Structure 1
Amino acid sequence: MTNLLTALIFLTSACVHASSPAFIVDRLPLNAAIQLAQEDVFGRQYVLPPELASDTRPVTLDLSLAGDQKTQREEYVRWLRQMNIAVETRNGVDHYRSFKPVAAPEKMVSWVYTPFHRSPSYLATVLSGTTGRSSQASSESTSGTSSGSLSGSVSSSSGSFLSGEGDSLVFRGTRSELARLKELVPLIDVPAQGVVVTGYIYEVQTGRSEGSGLALAAKLLSGRFGVSVGSSSSMGNYISFSSGTLNAMYELFSTDNRFKVVSAPQLRMDSGKEATFSVGEQVPVLGSVSYEDGKAVQSVTYRDSGVIFKVKPVITSSRISLNVNQQLSNFVKTDTGVNDSPTLLKREVDTSLTLKDGDIVLLGGLAENKDSQASTGLSFLPKSWSQKSDEKSRTDMVILLQVKKV
């Protein structure tokens, strides 16, 4: 039968290779072929590891034309190495072992890419995971813009390198890594989503009985633009609505002399980036004291005060998450402690909102209460005859905002 396993050993003959037998195996199990070669052809002691002693892969080998026994053994050992089997001789005993071949290093290639929309450092950070290594970059957040002020680079022990420093993305690595990179770059180097935040910052003067500025604004809006507002205690520090226009609400507040526009910011920013709007002044504040040539030098730092408005959006397909920080601050004379340096009085609120494209939000929460006393009368009359007045007022900062995708 042609499918039978055969092993043939041709002993010494006068015609072919008189100095050594010919060794031919045809579809013999590997463990049996090794045993046959060691015991009957080369006559050498040997040791097989368990994985080779049980290896029954059918093999075929023909050493009939290999020459003398030394040449046959060299060909036999070479044949084993092709199957990832090594033979080491120690003290006259052949020790077999399996090994994993070391892959030849791939040829390294270089590639330079100039981004169209995103910064090189942003691309380097996002793409670092595609090359099988972690980022070592000091870079933008994954919502970064095309600004190239930050830089980053990623490297590995294999010699591959991905750099976002400067104005180009530089890569050096294998062809397979480069192929993955080229496939992903067009999907990532796209314009960053952005929003325009338009608003009005109001200073609202109210009496104690009128409640907060936000509550007063809610009363003005109630029943208009499809807005229905419940009790002021349930509003928190903001209310949002999807109907109406910002300009119409501005015109409505302009009809009430208790609403005074402090500022009207309009900010455009990309997703994940923070924008700041500040109305006020920079006040010099005493800093640390250093010594130069034995003389004390007083440092001075300038700190912002007034109305400071910061906003940071994160844009998804259907929502805009907005982190809003509003601060109202001013400096007053220090009566105790360091009298030469003013004291900062600050009121600050942080709010996180989730809005739809085009939504309008009304923010409050920054309030200042004032008590004022006055007396009127003739100077030559006793003070007890003077008319006294006691007025309690409240000043609120209310911010009217609208966010739109661009």
Structure 2
Amino acid sequence: MNVSRPLAALSLLGLMATGHCQATPLPPTAAFGKSIPGISMTFDRIPVSDFVMAYYTQIQKSPFVIDPTAAKSDAVFTMSLERIPPAQVKSMFMEAMRSAGFLVQRRGGVDFIRLREDGEKPIADQVFIYHPRFRDANYLSDLIGGLFATGHFVQNRPAPRSDGAPKASNDRGDSPLSLQSRPTDTLVFNGTEEEVAKLKGYLASLDTPAKQVRVRAVVYEVSGSSNEGFNLGAVIRSASQKLSLHIGAAGAAVAGSSVFRLQSTSLDVLAELFATDSRFNVVTRPDVLAADGQLTRFQSGENVPVLGQVSYDNKGNPLQSVDYKPSGIVIEARPQIRGEVVSLQLNQEVSNFVPTKTGVNSSPTLMTRNLTTTFDAKPGDVYVIGGLKTQKETQDRSFFPFTSWAVSNAKQLSSSEIVVLVQVEDATPI
């Protein structure tokens, strides 16, 4: 009997168990490549006793006891395994034994193997404790908890109340509901030996560093007048032609005249080019890290006092309250990281206060511009997003002194547009 064990990586070619042997069983042989790590074995109609002996003495190297009835079983195994990671060989063995009608139970560090009786269900007698390295414990349990028929994770979180009732104000965090709702950094699983072996394989694949990206942006307010005119598409095309002389090809418009994609360029280079145009005024330049699926929010501005509600004291005197309302710019980004692209949900809001000319003129009016978009961004490319436009008309009249005779009547139309440059880069920790 020859079973060799190189070092780790999985590929199952064939696995079959049958209840009768009509040919002389052959000894198991091993086949593996020296340059490719993993465990490789080939069994051809081997009896269960030899199969168990090969596994526990050559691979698992742990004590076992096989029931005499199970040892006399006429079940034979035929399988071919090549380059299987050692961590997953145990789940392969347990699955082969289960499909052939055998039950493996671990007691006191020893595996006991016997025939499974008709209708007998596996016993969840194994407790496995795992401390996640990278991912949240609740994320892992929610993701793989439904894959096991017998086993389960012991920490059960209550479902949120459908009536939307808030937590009691006197709950200091020590109530049963709060204790069960607390985040946990440990997974406790109770299941069969086979399920524990599968769970270890799942955790090795899933408990990996979460992906994250670096989101860089430059927000401009582009101003102009009706005499000057402003066309974002013309500006971007002119910029791409200039950049191609220095750093290579630039991209063209993606969809519509207010969204552009520039390939093989840099956000810093494009920002320096726009800095030479007096119409481009930098509002803010955020640079943040965003985890996969998590919301990142950047806010820059000021809190402006505005008049609030009027209340009265016991003597009937009015009391005027003052509220502070935020204004400025808010950028929210939520990336969904895939293999080749990043689906980026981007929300931008620009607000400012202006004097109120009608109604309650003692309190300013909040002017807000908001744009929400979702697009697929390729890491390294620069995306130019416009579309938040406003127009303002001013009229200048001159009259002859002490008369209502108009000497001149000049109208001027000014406009402004919010333009955002966005670039995402992979920032997943290695």
Fold conserved (TM > 0.5)? Answer: yes
State the partner residue of 1:245.
266
Structure 1's 257 and 337: CA in aligned 2 closer, same or farther, altered over 3 A?
closer
Secondary structure in 2 aligned to 1:223?
A: helix
C-alpha displacement at 1:203, in angstroms?
0.8
State the partner residue of 2:331.
309
Asked whether the equivalents of residues 195 and 403 of structure 1 are also in contact (C-alpha less than 8 Å), the reply is: yes
Pairing partner for 1:227 from 230, 250, 257:
250
1:270 to 2:291 alignment: yes
Pairing partner for 2:341 from 290, 300, 319:
319
- Per-residue CA deviations over 1:247-288 (Å, capped at 9, x if unaligned) read 211111111111111111101111111111111123567889
Pairing partner for 1:365 from 367, 382, 387:
387
Structure 1's 229 and 242: CA in aligned 2 closer, same or farther, altered over 3 A?
closer
CA distance in 2, matches of 1:166, 1:298: 47
Instruction: Return the letter of the residue paired with 2:250.
Output: V
CA distance in 2, matches of 1:191, 1:292: 58
CA distance in 2, matches of 1:282, 1:213: 33
C-alpha displacement at 1:326, in angstroms?
1.1
C-alpha displacement at 1:131, in angstroms?
2.4
Unaligned runs of 5+ in 1: 1-99, 140-161
CA distance in 1, matches of 2:364, 2:188: 51
CA RMSD of aligned residues (A): 4.0
State the partner residue of 2:12.
none
Which runs of structure 2 are paired with 1:369-380 in the superposition (5 Å)? 369-375=391-397
Structure 1's 211 and 103: CA in aligned 2 closer, same or farther, altered over 3 A?
farther
Secondary structure in 1 aligned to 2:196?
A: helix
State the partner residue of 2:145.
128
Instruction: Return the letter of the residue paired with 1:205.
Output: S
CA distance in 1, matches of 2:321, 2:184: 35
Structure 1's 205 and 333: CA in aligned 2 closer, same or farther, altered over 3 A?
closer
Structure 1's 275 and 176: CA in aligned 2 closer, same or farther, altered over 3 A?
same
- Per-residue CA deviations over 1:19-38 (Å, capped at 9, x if unaligned) read xxxxxxxxxxxxxxxxxxxx
1:260 to 2:277 alignment: no
Asked whether the equivalents of residues 345 and 372 of structure 2 are also in contact (C-alpha less than 8 Å), the reply is: yes
1:207 to 2:230 alignment: no
Q: TM-score, normalised by structure 1?
A: 0.58
Give the greater-gyration-radius structure (CA).
1
Identity of aligned residues (%): 33
State the partner residue of 2:127.
110
Pairing partner for 1:355 from 371, 374, 377:
377
C-alpha displacement at 1:190, in angstroms?
0.5
- Per-residue CA deviations over 1:337-368 (Å, capped at 9, x if unaligned) read 77887654322111111122201100111111
Further displaced range: 322-331 or 260-269: 322-331
Asked whether the equivalents of residues 201 and 399 of structure 1 are also in contact (C-alpha less than 8 Å), the reply is: yes
Pairing partner for 1:195 from 171, 192, 213:
213
CA distance in 2, matches of 1:287, 1:122: 43
Asked whether the equivalents of residues 259 and 386 of structure 2 are also in contact (C-alpha less than 8 Å), the reply is: yes
Which runs of structure 2 are paired with 1:65-214 in the superposition (5 Å)? 103=120, 106-132=123-149, 165-208=183-226, 214=232
1:282 to 2:299 alignment: no
State the partner residue of 2:425.
404
Instruction: Return the letter of the residue paired with 1:364.
Output: G
CA distance in 2, matches of 1:370, 1:247: 32
C-alpha displacement at 1:305, in angstroms?
2.4
Secondary structure in 2 aligned to 1:224?
A: helix
- Per-residue CA deviations over 1:68-87 (Å, capped at 9, x if unaligned) read xxxxxxxxxxxxxxxxxxxx
Q: TM-score, normalised by structure 2?
A: 0.55
Structure 1's 336 and 120: CA in aligned 2 closer, same or farther, altered over 3 A?
farther
Asked whether the equivalents of residues 197 and 268 of structure 1 are also in contact (C-alpha less than 8 Å), the reply is: yes
Which runs of structure 2 are paired with 1:15-34 in the superposition (5 Å)? none
- Per-residue CA deviations over 1:277-325 (Å, capped at 9, x if unaligned) read 11112356788999999x9999987553221111111111111111111
Instruction: Return the letter of the residue paired with 2:232.
Output: L
Asked whether the equivalents of residues 157 and 181 of structure 2 are also in contact (C-alpha less than 8 Å), the reply is: no
CA distance in 2, matches of 1:172, 1:193: 30
Unaligned runs of 5+ in 2: 1-116, 161-179, 244-248
CA distance in 1, matches of 2:355, 2:158: 46
Asked whether the equivalents of residues 330 and 348 of structure 2 are also in contact (C-alpha less than 8 Å), the reply is: yes
- Per-residue CA deviations over 1:355-400 (Å, capped at 9, x if unaligned) read 22201100111111111223568x9575647554322110111011
Secondary structure in 1 aligned to 2:298?
A: strand
Asked whether the equivalents of residues 313 and 321 of structure 1 are also in contact (C-alpha less than 8 Å), the reply is: yes
- Per-residue CA deviations over 1:53-112 (Å, capped at 9, x if unaligned) read xxxxxxxxxxxxxxxxxxxxxxxxxxxxxxxxxxxxxxxxxxxxxxx9653661433333
Secondary structure in 1 aligned to 2:145?
A: helix
CA distance in 1, matches of 2:364, 2:406: 40
Secondary structure in 2 aligned to 1:351?
A: strand
Secondary structure in 1 aligned to 2:241?
A: coil
Structure 1's 170 and 297: CA in aligned 2 closer, same or farther, altered over 3 A?
farther
